[in-house]
Structure 1
Amino acid sequence: MTANLSTPLGICKITGDEDGISEIKILDKDEELSNSVPKVLIPAANQMTAYFKGELKEFNIPLNPKGTSFQKQVWLALNQIPYGETRSYLQISKEIGNVKAIRAVAAANGKNPLWIVTPCHRVIGSDGSLTGYAGGLWRKKYLLDLENPPIQQELF
């Protein structure tokens, strides 16, 4: 089952079934918005809407992503990154117990099927740079700014 909803980043496509949400991604092309959302996808759709309004900091929906055991291990580590914080690929590779797996961690991060919910956008370069994001760096920056808005430096 799928549902398409509008977000500030484009059309969000949510896919899942009774076993959980298997995919959430922002599409680069226009697709028709869903007139109705299948019952099993309503919690995910509601939580995505609340997230983009700044009303939700932690998702609470059943997840069922498809991937290798290594990818799932990386995605589990991504889910531990708190809202408004970032980690480097090196930090994630250390967390999963394989400091030499930085490139494999980056590759698994890029294959994350649950954008935003499994916060791959919170992973940055060791030097603090915004590196790699399947949805484009402008979306990554938007999400990081949404979670941790820049402080206004001047009044006028």
Structure 2
Amino acid sequence: METAYIKTPLGIARIEGDEDGISVISVVDQGETSSAIPPVLTEAVTQLYDYFDGKRNDFNFPINPAGTEFQQKVWKGLLEIPFGKTMSYLELSKKLGDVKAIRAVASANGKNPLWIVVPCHRVIGADGSLTGYAGGLWRKKWLLEHENPLKQQCLF
């Protein structure tokens, strides 16, 4: 397993992966960045930089997150939430076929090991509130604004 640390506007991102794909992307508040990026992580690093620079709306490098069958199902559902859009936990539970699984869906969402790439930040409360986010609500707010910035309308 290879590891790299890169600077992002939201902190230092830790990226782990191997020839089977990227298995972990997480964020920490501070730390050292990598002086060299392992070749197996280069594409993920490039695409993350492009995302933060506003040049990328999706990711297409191989991913390989470890999780239960149910967690994998939820993470796959998260991948279907379009860039710049949000979905409530209830809507996601319905989409996955079991409205009663809302707590389990929320739990799986919170255990997502691929920060930003599997967009758990796009899941909000049914009332539109920014609920729970492992990286901190300020990061969730930043990501949602980054993906859907308010555009000033012309007054004339």
Equivalent residue number for residue 17 of structure 1:
18
Q: How far, CA to CA, are the matches of 2:72 and 2:96 in structure 1?
A: 11
Match of 2:5 in 1: 4
Matched residue, 2:31: 31
Q: Secondary structure at the match of 1:61?
A: coil
CA distance in structure 2 between the aligned counterparts of 1:136 and 1:152, rounded to whole angstroms: 27
Please state how far the C-alpha of 1:150 moved relative to its aligned partner: 1.8
Q: Which residue of 1 aligns with 2:136?
A: 136
CA distance in 2, matches of 1:53, 1:69: 34
Q: 1:45 corresponds to which residue?
A: 45
* AA at the equivalent of 2:60: N
Separation in 1, partners of 2:154, 2:95: 39
* Structure 2 stretches lacking a partner, 5+ long: none
1:97 and 1:81 map into 2 onto residues whose CA distance is 16
| CA displacement 1:69-113 (0-9 Å, x = unmatched) | 000000000000000000000111111111101111100000000
Letter in 1 for 2:147: E
CA–CA distance in structure 2, aligned partners of residues 114 and 77 of structure 1? 14
- Structure 1 segments unaligned to the other structure (5+ residues): none
Rounded Cα–Cα distance in structure 1 between residues aligned with 2:108 and 2:40: 27
Pairwise mapping of residues 7-156 of structure 1 onto structure 2 (< 5 A)? Answer: 7-28=8-29, 30-152=30-152
Query: What is the distance in 1 between the residues matched to 2:133 and 2:32?
Result: 24
Percentage of matched positions with identical amino acids? 63
Corresponding residue pairs, total:
154
Report the residue type matching 1:91 in the other structure.
E
C-alpha deviation, 1:153, in angstroms: 6.6
1:27 is aligned with what amino acid?
A: V
d(CA) in 2 for partners of 1:40, 1:83: 26
Q: Tell me how far apart the structure 1 counterparts of residues 51 and 6 of structure 2 sit (CA, whole Å).
A: 13
What SS does the corresponding residue of 2:13 show, helix, strand or coil? strand
Question: Could you say what the CA RMSD is over the residues aligned between the two structures, in angstroms?
Answer: 1.2
Where does structure 1 differ by over 4 angstroms across 4 or more consecutive aligned residues? none
Q: Secondary structure at the match of 1:126?
A: coil
C-alpha distance in 2 between matches for 1:150 and 1:138 = 17
Deviation at residue 43 of structure 1 after TM alignment: 0.3
